[in-house]
Structure 1
Amino acid sequence: MSNDKAIAPTDLRDYLRSQGWSLLDEALADRLYMLENAAFPRRQLTYPMDVTAPDYEESVEIVIDKLAELMGQTSLSVASRVRSLRDDVVRLRVSFDGNDSTLPLSFASTLVGNTEKLLRAAACTVLRPRTHHARLTLCEAGQFVGAARFGQTEEGSFILNVACPIDALEVHGSLRSEASETPFVRQVTMSLHHGLSQLIAAIESDKLDRLIDDLKTTTTPLVSSNLCEALQGMHDDQVNNSLDVGFDWSLMRKVTDREKNRPIRVQRDYFSRIEEVRRELRAVELHEEDTFIGTVERLEGEMEQDGRRSGDVVLSLLLPDGGEAVRARVELSADEYDHAIRAHISNGAYIRVVGRLRPGRQPRQLTGVKKFELLW
């Protein structure tokens, strides 16, 4: 075992129980945890209940070694599993021809950054399902990423581990009402698994067009352009790597479906297809309406023959997803322009506008305006 922080006695107990070991109550009076398992007759595992016991660390190490031998695993892997008992662990394995136990430094940096983007995209999908998230800055998504921990890499290709404590946040997602009792972190990791599985299955069955059509029409899409962008960033053209995404579910909330315990493989030739999906889903934003609150920054309209003004106005709008302000240009009718004038000359006045905010450099274009009104 490594010299990391000592394993908590209750965590080791809970892990052993998840593996079929039963607690013997009679040993509790002596401040000992003693467990047995019908699958291993005449074998008992014993260690102190108190971390202050002189032989605590030695006893735990003996238990881990014995357990590893019985399970046919290494002591390090068993100890790691005990420490991540309360975590959903996302495991990203990068493999390619040659020495794939190391990565170019620039690609390693990109991989870490896109891992965060992948998790943020999944969290935003649970909170507000949509095919494109204009910003991945929702407060709860930031808290989720902040609670995640970067784990040690493993031998056998380059493997990046991210531990996500399942009870880190008390937040309710929007994907499914029946999932209200499921911890938010588990909703995020499960959503990520489902989304990746849908995407890869569509690529392998040559049904990407159907998947894209379904994503555009459903109210709860599990694949977003942001998720695709993060995956695309995990491929390097020179390295020409593939990617395996595995999930080690917390044993405190077991996942019994064997399919969910198998890694999802993104082969090197899949990344170009994922880019196609990203572009299609990113384009959906052009057709989505939204409601914006903002201020009138500049009036650029012209006088009409009836003596009233209409035309372009430059606004400062708050983006619904993150509170970031962007400048946008919009063409207004004479009645709408009157509201803009009143907002511009009134100190602290706000406007509400419903329309489509196009991507691009600022001031961005706001089109398809259906409502423009003054808020006092």
Structure 2
Amino acid sequence: MKIQIPTKLPLLDLIRYLKDIGWSIAEHPNDKLIVFRGPLNDFGKPLEIAIPKNDEYQDYNSRVQDALRIIGILNGKGIQEIVNEILLTSHDVFKVRILDTGDYTNSIPLPYATNSLRNIKDLFVYGACSEQVSLPYFDKPLQVGINHAHLCRFGHTFEGSFGLAIRSPIINDYIQIEMFEERAALPFERKVMERIIRGIELLNQSVKADNGDILVNSYDVAFNSRMCESLLELSANKLIRIGLDIEWSPKFEVSDDIKGKNGWILSEASYKVLEYAAEELNKIEPYNETVVGNIVTLHSNKNPMSDEDFLRQATIKHEIDGKKVLIKLDLDKKNYAIAYEAHGKGVPIKASGILFKKGNTWRMIDVTGVSILKNE
């Protein structure tokens, strides 16, 4: 098998990988080198690996190749396997395979390649937007989405019809990874990737059930309309089948609902669902509102009182146009605690935010100003 080694392995990823497998940094008089000490050799002395301190040094690649060979021998692994492990140290890898390439197995037309990269970029841009504010659609990208796309890297192409890889960071500052691991919290960058993969899996479920509303009704945790459109446009007018795969960094656990899910193929049935979902999500009109009502249910997938940054949910009964409706509120830890207290006392709350309706379901996001009201 051909070994696919990037032109230059990221230095930070390599350093972290060596630390993860038990090598430690040792003091060295040459300030242009980072020296790692590992297991003892046959003479009872620790083995050493020297890596240039700057990946722009002329001997960086050759030194890294030497290090890979040593690690491979010690751990009984091939160089390709080690390279893959290093690349997953600080990134998730999203793979896109163009399955219908016509007469050219390993190439695609240049205009299609340009559009493909733009559409894949939009998938990540608007995925980050929804992770910041879970709206059904966006007129234009939020700055958080633009920033996130700049962090992602375009990887090497690979064989198998025509494939390309996007390396998405699991965190935008590698130094802070330990902080997230200690708190067992998912960083924003991993949440964006999980949203994308969850959307693909729900798309697959929608196709199997012949029910596009499965995808539409999950926009709070999966695709917004722009994400649907980006995959739809990737199909080149629904003519090209697309294969999608994910390789997760082992640094964080994958959420249970998508753990073990992989190897999707988008075809004509998938594009019909995406087209339907994009149209339906674009019809939803959010507006600012203040609602009042008693708590009916409280819900959280994790410990609601933990410091982790995720949304908890409360459902209240509120009157709109003379009718009693149930409204799902997305709450942070502080506002969830207020809702919990009100529920215990059996008193109503007041909340302000962005309200919208899909089908028979009302939902409020960006909830602020939650307060307890006294029963009159």
TM-score class, shorter-chain normalisation, is 0.5 to 0.7
After TM superposition, give the deviation of residue 80 of structure 1 in Å. Answer: 5.4
Q: 1:57 to 1:274 in 2, by over 3 A?
A: closer
CA distance in 1, matches of 2:194, 2:246: 9
Question: Which residue of the partner structure matches residue 300 of structure 2?
Answer: none
Question: Which residue of the partner structure matches residue 166 of structure 2?
Answer: 162
Residues 243 and 263 in structure 2, CA contact (< 8 A), matched pair in contact too = yes
Letter in 2 for 1:202: S
CA distance in 2, matches of 1:95, 1:283: 32
CA distance in 1, matches of 2:13, 2:214: 45
Task: Flag as ranges the 4+ runs of structure 1 deviating above 6 A.
Answer: 52-56
Residues 50 and 56 in structure 1, CA contact (< 8 A), matched pair in contact too = yes
| Pair 1:4-2:2 in alignment | no
Question: Which residue of the partner structure matches residue 143 of structure 2?
Answer: 139
Question: Which residue of the partner structure matches residue 281 of structure 1?
Answer: 281
Letter in 2 for 1:102: S
Residues 91 and 247 in structure 1, CA contact (< 8 A), matched pair in contact too = yes
After TM superposition, give the deviation of residue 164 of structure 1 in Å. Answer: 2.5
The SS at the match of 2:108 is: coil
After TM superposition, give the deviation of residue 231 of structure 1 in Å. Answer: 0.7
Based on CA coordinates, which of the two structures has the bigger radius of gyration?
Answer: 1
Q: Could you list the per-position Cα deviations for residues 269-291 of structure 1 after superposition, in whole angstroms to 9, with x for gaps in the alignment?
A: 22122212222222223xx3359
Which residues of 2 match residues 344-355 of structure 1 at below 5 A? none
CA distance in 1, matches of 2:118, 2:82: 29
CA distance in 2, matches of 1:207, 1:162: 30
CA distance in 2, matches of 1:185, 1:16: 23
CA distance in 2, matches of 1:244, 1:209: 23
Q: 1:59 to 1:256 in 2, by over 3 A?
A: farther
CA distance in 2, matches of 1:169, 1:185: 10
After TM superposition, give the deviation of residue 105 of structure 1 in Å. Answer: 1.8
RMSD value, Cα? 4.0
Question: Which residue of the partner structure matches residue 225 of structure 2?
Answer: 225
After TM superposition, give the deviation of residue 185 of structure 1 in Å. Answer: 1.2
Question: Which residue of the partner structure matches residue 263 of structure 1?
Answer: 262
Question: Which residue of the partner structure matches residue 110 of structure 2?
Answer: 105
Q: Could you list the per-position Cα deviations for residues 172-207 of structure 1 after superposition, in whole angstroms to 9, with x for gaps in the alignment?
A: xxxxxxx99432211211111112212222212333
Residues 126 and 187 in structure 1, CA contact (< 8 A), matched pair in contact too = yes
Identical-pair percentage = 20
Question: Which residue of the partner structure matches residue 342 of structure 1?
Answer: none
| Pair 1:33-2:8 in alignment | no
Q: 1:277 to 1:71 in 2, by over 3 A?
A: farther
Picking from 195, 200, 203, the partner of 2:199 is 195
| Pair 1:87-2:85 in alignment | no
Question: Which residue of the partner structure matches residue 68 of structure 2?
Answer: 64
- Structure 2 stretches of 5 or more lacking a match? 29-33, 41-45, 175-182, 290-353, 357-376
Q: Could you list the per-position Cα deviations for residues 112-134 of structure 1 after superposition, in whole angstroms to 9, with x for gaps in the alignment?
A: 11111111121111111122222
Q: 1:272 to 1:168 in 2, by over 3 A?
A: same
CA distance in 2, matches of 1:355, 1:2: 49
Picking from 108, 113, 125, the partner of 2:130 is 125
Residues 127 and 192 in structure 2, CA contact (< 8 A), matched pair in contact too = yes
Residues 212 and 276 in structure 2, CA contact (< 8 A), matched pair in contact too = no
Residues 51 and 63 in structure 2, CA contact (< 8 A), matched pair in contact too = no
- Aligned pairs, how many? 267
TM-score w.r.t. length of structure 1: 0.58
After TM superposition, give the deviation of residue 97 of structure 1 in Å. Answer: 6.2
Which residues of 2 match residues 315-334 of structure 1 at below 5 A? none
Q: 1:169 to 1:86 in 2, by over 3 A?
A: closer
Letter in 2 for 1:265: W
Q: 1:51 to 1:117 in 2, by over 3 A?
A: closer
Letter in 2 for 1:271: Y
